[in-house]
Amino acid sequence: MNTSELDESKSKVTAATPKTNPTYISLVQFTDKGIQEVKQTTQRLAAWAAKVQSMGVTMKQMYWTLGQYDQVCIFEAADDETAASVLLAADMLGNIRTKTMRAFTASEMENILARVP
């Protein structure tokens, strides 16, 4: 059989979609200790990002903001437990308090909506 006789509709191979880690968005407020040491905030972030990378956490973006929250942090973690553990560890240092939300991409939301009865 030569290749021109193959039924291509049966032989198509689709590449597996690479699994992406869940995304989280943290709203961050400085504590009294954190605001007293605010001049080191960018250095603390760089050190923290390097430390948590070995735990499977990737800091995607950090914004310093005006208003109710001092920072907005966007990061990816392997799972909810990993995200919770690094957030607890960050809060324990005493410079910040966080409120974190799990965020979904459009593709993830499509999968969620497909499950809605």
13 part of a folded domain = no
The confidence score (pLDDT) of residue 10 equals 46
Residues in the chain: 117
61 part of a folded domain = yes
| CA–CA distance, 110 with 87 (Å, rounded to integer) | 28
CATH code of the domain in which 80 resides: 3.30.70.920
Please tell me the total count of domains within the chain: 1
Low-confidence ranges of the chain (pLDDT < 50): 1, 3-4, 6-14
The confidence score (pLDDT) of residue 33 equals 96
91 part of a folded domain = yes
E strands in 15-57:
23-30
37 part of a folded domain = yes
Which candidate, 116, 49, 113, 111, places its Cα nearest to that of 86? Answer: 49
2 part of a folded domain = no
Q: Which residue segment(s) compose the domain that 102 sits in? A: 23-115
Burial class (CB in 10 A: 0-12, 13-18, 19+), 49: middle
Farthest CA pair distance, the chain = 77
The confidence score (pLDDT) of residue 18 equals 65
Vertex 37 angle, CA 99 and 55, to 5°: 50
108 part of a folded domain = yes
User: What is the pTM assigned to this prediction?
Assistant: 0.81
The confidence score (pLDDT) of residue 20 equals 85
Asked if 104 contacts 113 with a C-beta cutoff of 8 angstroms, the reply is no
76 part of a folded domain = yes
| CA–CA distance, 111 with 105 (Å, rounded to integer) | 10
